Structures are given as structure tokens and as C-alpha cells.
Structure 1
Amino acid sequence: MERLWTVEDVAEYLGVPINTLYDWRTRQYGPPGKRVGKYLRYRAADVIAWFDSLDTDAA
């Protein structure tokens, strides 16, 4: 079974502050995450797929 990523893991992978992930979540943007009790967790494959889907033409 694959280990779920924490908010810290995702922030490090994307190179953004943790607060940015929470802000994106309130705006329904960013990689999909799920609450596990009071914790937010992400599947690595979902984060990578979300990143790969971003517009590559953006400057």
C-alpha cells in the first residue's frame, strides 16, 4: 500500500508554502486531497497528475 502524502510533503514537492495549499483548497484549486479525521492527506499519483495537467505555456 502506498503512503499518503502530508500537506508538508505536497508543499515540498510543489515548492509552495503550506498556507498556499490551504488557500488553494478553499478556492477549489490545487491537487485533490481528502480529510482523514482532522488531517489532510494526498495520494502522490493525484498530486503528480494535477501538476502534469497544468498549462505548460504559462510564463
Structure 2
Amino acid sequence: MLPGNEALFSLETASDYVKDEKACFYGFKCFAIGYEFSPSPDEGIIQLEKEMANLGGACAAA
């Protein structure tokens, strides 16, 4: 489960200083499945609290 409204993926490679053919290959696979729900009035404030906790954690980690 990903909190928030976006997911970021960063694919990075290094220079080919080894000249190993097998080291040149890499792969990445991602499945994103979205669900929509209508929160009740009580769940809205709980969701806001989760979003603020996620934002605070991201700021503290930076």
C-alpha cells in the first residue's frame, strides 16, 4: 500500500567498466492497481492524519 497520490521509480545504471555482457542486462516490472472508496466523515480525518504522518516521516528522513 502506498500512501499519497504518486509513486516514483528511479532506474539507474553505472558505467560499463567491467565489460561483462551479463552485467549489461537488467529488468524492472511494476503492477499498479488502484482502488476507489468513499470514506465516511469519520474516516476522512483519519486519512488526513495518515497523510500528515507520512509527510512528516518523509521530511524527517530527508
Specify the TM-score bucket, using the shorter chain as the normaliser.
Answer: under 0.3
Pick the structure with greater CA Rg. Answer: 2
Structure 2 length-normalised TM: 0.27
The structure with more helix, counted as a fraction of residues: 1
TM-score normalised by structure 1 residue count? 0.28
Bigger relative contact order, structure 1 or 2 (CA pairs below 8 A, ≥6 apart): 2
